[in-house]
Structure 1
């Protein structure tokens, strides 16, 4: 995989900014770098953005509902819903002000069912947000209208990747604001003998993105040397007497991993933990006190684990941890696609 040259984010201002009332933004679908194909028949994915931000929303919809386990790490988590069964997952920019996007998705689903508010028909939407104000000098936020637009744009078979949707203003490597670079939304899909796995992630970490050769490929770009460094080098130098890097606030990586394999609640919870833990290989550092990382693990419960027979063990089920191992490599691929 090749990566483009430096993608610097402008330095933030934070105060005295124009927002939605002043700029009156209008939803646009956004422009992905590419589309990643997937084989989940019922899953649709849509994006919508306010170009005036830019900031955006990504909605993943499963109309037949699906079971979810949630794993969250770090010191600044931003999540809504927390349901164990959902009809949609909504990723948004705008930090805590972006939760309105998930509300908009739920309102749109309510309208679809002719405002049926009986308890079994409630619209269950899990949401997660990133802090993307550090990449733009305005206060435009994803609201209910933008969430509804992303849902309306949802299509089957593909996931948009690049600077698009919730990832349009995502940045990484914020060891100092001047060292941050744009990342974005990434995705990766794999199917093995009917077993399906899809990872969708928006990478907005304080850490830098690292490839499998241990090269820093996005983030912590030193404008003085023209090089990207592993943040651990800066911290080690600080312990030896150099100035301590600022390590800026306002970071979150949000991820959804989908499988069609039937997992019980305990297995699904452990699957979420295993995949989320693995992502530290691609993002360094990860799960820090300045991050608020959320991962939703979703199963459509369509396929039982295959069984194997051996003389020593008899008939046994392939371990769910094996599924987590494959999904963990896929998560790394998804993070790298966000950096490409």
Structure 2
């Protein structure tokens, strides 16, 4: 396996990403826009999720493809971002055809960033529908990491969080990528060190090149978590994308593997106070099918876990300081 040319989820054919947000608000939205409707599924393992249109992603449901996926800050207010993405897609004639109408299918997940020091006095209506439209309109193959889009207001137990992405190209020609907003109860770094839990998966020094600490801290296994966590105040939400040909059931298994990446990169993860969620989407652009009963399916799952772990570390590594921050950024830590 090797890096994709951008080391971003957009190395997957048929995928573009756009951001919108407000640094003063300390919140924003990220949209993964699909060039054509694509197979998707989802798995929620955190105890405090916030979602839209996730039930239709089950293998037994009618709709076979989605037009976009949304990751947004704003807690439940952020679910409005999907409406803005729908408006953009309807404007360009996209959507599921039913009774003479095109209905864009836009599942969404949100994270809680209301209490992060930003100015949330937005008046009667929240700005997230506008963020969704703007992010979809801005979607391209190159996009910012760290303090951007849904990552603007993210925090972890010890450091400012952020928006991360990574990719891998497999030997069979299939590309796997991840996109994630890291707002976890737990920590992406080991103990009090600058070293990332995801270090064993790092490629080409993409998040500092420090490897694992030596000696390993004696208290590394002691969970570091946000002070006085409350249900809904956190959440890491992500997407695993591939250009392999998958059905909904196989996409669901890919989402399971994406959660393995959470467990490799965040300690602890999937707590009662996180809404941890992974979408999985398969564009089929490679033309390569993956038989669930073949060894290739194991390689695909391993790639999904690895890119998610790397994307989480890259999101925290790329975070940048902003006025009113409650936590330091990784780049401010001393060796």
Tell me the TM-score normalised to structure 2 length. Answer: 0.73
In the alignment, the residues of structure 1 paired with residue 89 and residue 249 of structure 2 have an alpha-carbon distance, to the nearest angstrom, of 29
Equivalence for 2:132: 147
* Cα drift, residue 231 of structure 1: 7.1
* Cα drift, residue 135 of structure 1: 1.3
Gaps of 5+ in 2: 1-5, 58-64, 198-216, 318-335
Tell me the alpha carbon deviations over residues 3-51 of structure 1, each in whole angstroms, 9 at most, x when there is no partner.
xxxxxxxxxxxxxxxxxxxxxxxxxxxxxxx984743342111101123
Paired residues in the alignment total 275
Q: Aligned pair 1:191/2:191, yes or no?
A: no
The structure, 1 or 2, with the larger RCO (C-alpha pairs under 8 Å, 6+ apart) is: 2
Q: Which is richer in strand?
A: 1
Select which of 170, 177, 185 maps to 2:154.
170
Q: Aligned pair 1:324/2:301, yes or no?
A: yes
Equivalence for 1:66: 38
Q: Aligned pair 1:304/2:281, yes or no?
A: no
In the alignment, the residues of structure 2 paired with residue 42 and residue 272 of structure 1 have an alpha-carbon distance, to the nearest angstrom, of 19
Q: Aligned pair 1:246/2:249, yes or no?
A: no
In the alignment, the residues of structure 2 paired with residue 109 and residue 74 of structure 1 have an alpha-carbon distance, to the nearest angstrom, of 30
Q: Aligned pair 1:205/2:156, yes or no?
A: no
Select which of 22, 42, 53 maps to 1:50.
22
* Cα drift, residue 288 of structure 1: 0.5
Gaps of 5+ in 1: 1-33, 174-179, 219-226, 236-243, 308-315
Tell me the TM-score normalised to structure 1 length. Answer: 0.72
When the two chains are superposed, the root-mean-square deviation of aligned CA atoms in Å is 3.1
Equivalence for 1:10: none
CA separation of 1:122 and 1:192: change in aligned 2, threshold 3 A = same
Equivalence for 1:264: 247
Please say if residues 50 and 56 of structure 1, whose CA atoms lie closer than 8 Å, have aligned partners that are also in contact: yes
Please say if residues 246 and 290 of structure 2, whose CA atoms lie closer than 8 Å, have aligned partners that are also in contact: no
In the alignment, the residues of structure 1 paired with residue 96 and residue 239 of structure 2 have an alpha-carbon distance, to the nearest angstrom, of 28
From the CA coordinates, give the structure whose radius of gyration is larger: 1
